[in-house]
Amino acid sequence: MTRASTRPRAGQDYRTTYTDLLEALSQPDCAVCRLVNQAVRQHVDVFLYEQLLVIERRDEIRAARGFCSIHGAMLVGGHGRMLGAATLHQDIINDALRQIDRAMNAPTVRLKRIFPPALRAMLRNVARAVRPRRMCPLCEYERRQEGVILRALVNDINDPALRGAFERSAGLCLPHFQMAVNLPDAPAGNQARLVELERAILAGLKAELDEYLSRRNASYESEPMGAEADAPLRAVRLVSGRVVHSDGRM
Ligand SMILES: [Zn+2]
Ligand SMILES: [Zn+2]
């Protein structure tokens, strides 16, 4: 296990470490969601400040027709990012325009003069021309980080400190739990231990939801709620996570 925290540098994967995991497990909600979110946010900054002029990166983003809506929204916070976002999107839109013009063959011809079958063929060409040809590069980065973080968690789950921190944590969101159980080439005994621990956390949350619902449905509504008061919110976050799957950019 790695005990030192390593911050990302340009072009490097964010290395989630044992200490990062311990720290994230002491915070609310899924620790993997939290670490992935931090890694992607840092990566966006690294990209906008250090890699904007790297031709390969620009090619990837053009081919993806930009970023998915979730990652695209991360680009527009702060003045420094606006300049990077403008440069990138000028490039993407310029390329999309070029492809649309090519698909239309003669964009200046009046469209209503084209016969319907030819018009439909042209529309198909335009749709094909603007379709992303690869997945969102930040989704791709995010997926890689999920793998790195989940593998670290599974590998070290029998470490007493990490296991204890996991037991006291909110558990993994269901999407990350599913990924952890499906990790190829991971030690199956460790994965089974994780299933055991996650199951206990899910059962605890289910009991809190039961308590919440029975209090809400009871006639004595004035009795104050205990820790179960925010169980619905925690349950929504645990079930959905923040996992960004491909939005059709594959
Ligand atoms: Zn998660
Ligand atoms: Zn994305």
pLDDT digits (tens, 9 = 90+) for 57-103: 889 999 999 999 888 888 877 777 888 888 889 999 999 999 999 88
Taking the CA of 137 as reference, the closest ligand is: 2
The pLDDT tens digits for 239-250 are 988 766 544 433
**pLDDT greater than 50 at residue 36:** yes
Q: Which residues surround ligand 1, an ion (CB under 5 A)?
A: 30, 32-33, 173, 176, 241
Q: Are 205 and 195 in contact (CB under 8 A)?
A: no
Spatial distance between the Cα atoms of 40 and 141, rounded to a whole number of angstroms: 7
Contact 241, 175 (CB under 8 A): yes
Where residue 107 falls among pLDDT bands split at 50, 70, 90?
low
Nearest listed ligand to the Cα of residue 65: 2
Nearest 5°: CA angle at 196, between 201 and 215?
A: 25
Is the whole-model pTM more than 0.85? no
Ligand nearest to the CA of 136: 2
Q: State the residue for tokens 């990012």.
A: 81
Ligand number, closest to the Cα atom of 250: 2
CA of 75 to the centre of ligand 2 (A): 11
Cα–Cα nearest to 42, from 74, 5, 4: 74
Count of C-beta atoms within a 10 Å radius of residue 196: 10
**pLDDT score at 247:** 43
Q: What is the pLDDT of residue 96?
A: 93
Ligand nearest to the CA of 145: 1
How far, in Å, CA of 75 to CA of 66, rounded?
A: 11
Question: Cβ atoms within 10 A of the Cβ of 137, count?
Answer: 20
In this model, does residue 188 exceed pLDDT 90?
yes
Q: 157 alpha carbon to ligand 1 midpoint, in Å?
A: 16
In this prediction, residue 77 carries a pLDDT of: 74
Among 106-115, 179-188, 223-232, the range of highest mean pLDDT: 179-188
